[in-house]
Amino acid sequence: MAISSAVCKAFFALSAFALVLSVTSARAQTSLQYQLPPKAIVDLVDTTPTPSVSLSPAGAKSEKRWMLIQHISGLPTVADLAQPELRLAGLRFNPKTDGPSRGLYATSLELQALPNSKAIAVSGLPGHAKIRFAEWSPDAQKIAFVNVSDAPEDAGLSLWIVDVAAAQARRLPGIALDGILGSPCEWLSDSQSLVCKTVPAGKGAAPVRREVPTGPVIQENLGRVTPGATYEDLLKSPEDEQFFDYYATSQIALIGLHGAAKAIGKPGVFEEVTPSPDGSYVLLIERHHPYSYLLPFPVFPERVSVLNLKTGAIKQLADKPLADSVPNVHDAVPAGPRDYGWRSDAPSTVFWVEAGDGGDPRKEAAVRDSLFLLDAPFESAPQKLADLAVRFGRIAWGNDKLALVEESRWKDRKRILIALAPAGSSAPVKLYEGSFQDRYHDPGQPIEILNSTGKPVLQTTADGQAIFFRGAGASPEGDKPFLSVMSVSNGDAKHIWQSAAPYYASPSAVLDPVTTTLLIRRESPDQNPNYYIQKSSSAAPEQVTFFPNPYGNRQLPKKQVLHYKRADGVDLSANLYLPPGYKPSDGPLPTLMEAYPTEFKTKDAAGQVTGSPYEFVTLYWGSPVPFVTQGYAVLENATIPILGEGNAEPNDTYVEQLVASAKAAIDEGVRLGVVDRNRVAVMGHSYGAFMTANLLAHSDLFKAGIARSGAYNRTLTPFGFQNEERTYWQAPEIYYKMSPFSYADKIKTPILLIHGEADNNSGTFPIQSERLFSALKGQGGTVRFVLLPLESHGYQGRESVLHMFWEMNNWLNTYVKNPPGAASAAAAKP
């Protein structure tokens, strides 16, 4: 059959059009399996973390002080992340195990007696152990932990007990724990039993999703002011509520050391189940309906009760409504009682806080918060412990004569420490007042130890007249961690030990307050972290752990801390890493700069140095440092302070300060002769990704940018973002100017966008990267968008992390190390 020429022309025209569509589609989106970066980067990623260490309670009647050494898992596989996961009410959990679906876990345990015994491996652990929530018994003779199993024949959270003296673990049979809302178990003070959240008996089959909806989902607001940040993983329907109730509901049980379990009370959605120091009562924090579809579970209605373990009687202390009207500003809190807890140095006394300003820090109020106490049997009127002029932060208990209260205020970055006498025997004493951003004068944090009931209390000197503190010891030369004692009568502080070059060491514990014998964690650029006993400030420390170098014999880059100034005089710093073996004669290098902007209220605080030149190089999935193996200079943690002194808000001049800080870092690297000004890339994660896109929109300092898991259109976070408290309607010009999406037509520098498709961070929805990508390609920009399956805000899967490094390496090689046109430009030179 003959075909007309017209038909032939039409056929070839359609074929050509189809080919164009095919080519265009191939350029727009690419199907790609996970790739591997260069082996040098793979080797750095595939290391196991340094083990974690926890000490047995200081108040235990044990002859020995023990260390529990937990060997932590490396990066999980994507297959691990692909396990079943429900995302409800701001939570993520595995419905097969009734526990968390993400996070690291311990794979093995060791016990070591101080001061000089060798570590002993704990035997009897479950096969393929995934250990979480390890906790010492108050008498230090046992350790409880939870094992996570997703095996079909034994899926769930099981309870295990370690006999410390025998270094032997055993499972308590027949116990199914519920860890969806956090650690499921806590020891009673007698060390013979635990209070746990268990899976209710006879809870029945799980709900099943209906394929056909029964009606619309309706939300309504009738004139109430209910601002809120943007959140992921929220409830979206009555059906979601059924799923949340099914999995989050637990049964409280008293469990003995041989596995006997006694159910107490009725099942409920218990967030906290905390026994009193004397083991007579349990404080219950329970969430209940009506739930919110706009906010996560911590704002759901809260019922606070005390359960009598002997009688089973329950005394309700409060029933708080949905906290959806709290102002979306710093220091705002719900009205009414909040922050319930046990006074840890008394048998059974509950404390809580109530706002004197209705929870709104913008209101004038002589009393911002008040502290209350209520003794068992919780029938009398509560006792007011103190009125606070600044918002309550936390309290650390000591004894009848001493408790330490921390207050803070965001507006002027105020931090206050006050010593109180719970028995009312003396007036409150202000021990410290200053800015929590003033690291150079920070007194540190009080040291707490576990007492004989297993509760944290302040560690004081033998005479009880001073509290032990530890701090970062920030200085212009870098961090020099210290141990000090602070007088409870006037706040005078004296350093009794401090880290010194060429090491970076930090106090982990005061083993003996009389002789000031310490357990310290020490490292240097050439020595990975290990633990030592420091018997006096002048004696050489005695090494007690011998953890191997996680990087083996690989040569790691050395860190150099740079100090320089911004054009407006603000002091800045950055960590410079150069390839191993680099010589000045090698000349300037292609450079990768990484940063994360921070807001400050004073110039002095903005210019203070962070970090130390004597730390061991610790790499993690988000670090830029591995790129030194590929011939790059790396400027890590280049400080970018955003300053707003007095009545000025930092973000009023965000863009100008951003560009000035980045330029200063590059100028310093060029001055040193190690940075090639014409081959610099910038990268950042989260708010650092936001920074990256803004720098490309408002400067020509960089050849390329890498932005991971950022937010780029601030109109999608209209009730504030990061530390910006003004709403979009109060400062629309700030939201517009700070949104790189507004300047998509100005971003001509190549930018690599990476995002986890399951990002659960407030404000950084994947749609932020999707929309910026669409805007940039619509403007003809050079952009690549990589969406990592199953990944959250921080990336975990080994395949994902390695592929991320592959993408970054290709991007840097293409647009920075060998930028387009570089060869032709060099050839054109005479």
The Cα-based distances of 440 to 285, 484, 724, 762 in angstroms read 39, 15, 25, 31
User: Are 45 and 626 within 8 A, CB to CB?
Assistant: yes
Rounded Cα–Cα distance for residues 105 and 72 (Å) = 6
Distance from C-alpha of 804 to C-alpha of 435, rounded to nearest angstrom: 39
Which amino acid would we find at residue 430? K
First to last CA, the chain: 66
Please list, residue by residue across 646-684, b when 16 or more beta carbons sit within 10 angstroms of its beta carbon and e when fewer do.
Answer: eeebbbebbbebbbbbbebbbbbbbebebbbeebbbbbb
According to DSSP, the residues that pair with 458 across neighbouring strands are 448
E strands within 658-809?
675-685, 704-708, 751-756, 783-788
Q: Nearest-CA neighbor of 176 among 247, 269, 91?
A: 247
Residue 48 DSSP label: P
Based on the number of CB atoms within 10 Å of its own CB, is 474 exposed (0-12), middle (13-18) or buried (19 or more)?
buried
Name the DSSP letter for residue 584. G
Instruction: Tell how far CA 687 is from the center of its chain.
Output: 14
A 10 A CB-CB count for 301 gives 16
β-strands 517-524, 504-512: how paired? Answer: antiparallel
How far is 446 from 429, CA to CA, in rounded Å? 16
What single letter denotes the amino acid at residue 10?
A
The DSSP 8-state label assigned to residue 741 in this structure reads G
Give, for 276, the enclosing helix (H) or strand (E): none
- Among 677, 512, 526, CA closest to 614: 526
Distance CA 815, CA 694 (A): 18
**φ, ψ for residue 431 (rounded to 5)?**
-95, -30
**Cα dihedral 614, 619, 620, 623 in deg (nearest 10):** 90
Q: What sign has the CA pseudo-torsion 696, 698, 700, 701?
A: negative
Q: Among all residues, which ones are annotated catalytic? A: 686, 759, 793
Q: What is the DSSP string of 426-459?
A: S--EEEEEEETT-GGG---EE-EEE-TTS-EEE-
Cβ(395)–Cβ(417) below 8 Å: no
Separation between Cα atoms, residue 814 and residue 231, nearest integer Å: 36
From residue 385, give the alpha-carbon distance in Å to each of 360, 396, 420, 432: 22, 14, 8, 20
450: β partners: 456
Pairing mode of beta strands 414-420, 429-435 = antiparallel
